[in-house]
Amino acid sequence: MKKLILICFLFSFIACQKENQISLQGKTMGTTYSVKLSSNESNLDQNKIHQDIDKILVHVNALMSTYIPTSEISQLNQSKKDIWFPIHKDFFHVLSFSMDVAEKTNGSFDPTLGPLVNLWGFGPDGKRKVPSQEELESTMSVVGHDKIELDPKKMAVKKSLDKVYVDLSASAKGYGVDAVSDYLLAKGIHNFMVEIGGEIRTSGQTKGRSWRIAIEAPHPDIVHESYQKVLPISNKALATSGDYRNFFVEGGKKYSHTIDFKTGKPARHTLASVSVVDESSCMKADAWATAFMAMGPVKAFELAEKLQVAAYFIYRLDGQKEEGFVTKATSEFKKMFEGESAQ
């Protein structure tokens, strides 16, 4: 009996120990990042951890930011056709995965869509406007993942046209989240949440329970904060892609940043947002959320089910309205969050 009481006391004492909550913030990739650490250790060097995180994100930017003229991806985009251009292994890793998603989506997700994104004004220093049909056709002629080739042995890329432009904005933030998360795990820190521009990966717990992450309701008013769903996310990554934040209106029509590769124009369908949960990688969740958003409501859901991706779709009841939504979750999502009212 005494032994049982002692065990209960020890568990109570451990549970009541004050948890050290650390919050680190900064700017990266044209957005902000936030890292929350939950630990009972009092000797964590916060300044060193913060400096290391910044170094990691500077490294990712130096490889994959199209906003930096000297970055590796910018140099690739300025390179000539038919020449093998060697790139860093981290860049190659993200580009290889992006090419795989491009193949599986028949180009709906495509790392060479950058020129179209820029044409509509959603790229670096872009002016948002509806382009002419001539501009559209000219730009579409240099787009297509079949216009780049990868050599895993050489860690190199070759373009078939000078003007082929690679843009990894749909997966680089997720990769940055993974890079920071892997660093924290290597440091022996197992309770954390890493977020870059809304893309998230968590590990362990906070205050004795799973991290609680909200899926935002797709409302266009940035002041209006509402949540469609709150999920317990531990040792998982979550990314959301939607059409309700990054868009412009011209001639009474709304144009979102999600480009339909078939038309070269912003996608127009009833999908308002797609959230993807992955067991191990925010890069994967980031890319697939974007891919499904581009594919549209029917094909995206069918592919998500086929590939057993945990995805949560929010549809507009009327494609022209901003209010009134229905949701649909894949079988994998329901299984992952059984009892959480996923449908």
Q: Where are the domains of the chain?
A: 73-159, 195-336
Residue 195 exposure: Cα atoms within 13 Å on the Cβ side: 16
**pLDDT at position 125 over 50:** yes
Say what the pTM is.
0.86
Q: Which of 131-140, 176-185, 279-288, 330-339 has the lowest mean pLDDT?
A: 131-140
Average pLDDT score, the chain? 84
What fold, for 195-336?
A: T-fold (3.10.520)
Alpha-carbon dihedral sign for residues 297, 298, 303, 305: positive
pLDDT at 16: 41
Greatest CA separation found in the chain? 84
The residue written with tokens 């979102």 in the block is 256
In the block, which residue shows the tokens 């297509």? 144
Cα 145 to Cα 150: distance, rounded to the nearest angstrom: 11
Coil, helix or strand at residue 153: coil
Domain 73-159 in CATH: superfamily? Answer: ApbE-like superfamily (1.10.3980.10)
- Average pLDDT, integer, range 251-275: 73
pLDDT band at residue 316 under the 50/70/90 scheme: confident
How many angstroms separate the CA atoms of 16 and 18, rounded? 6
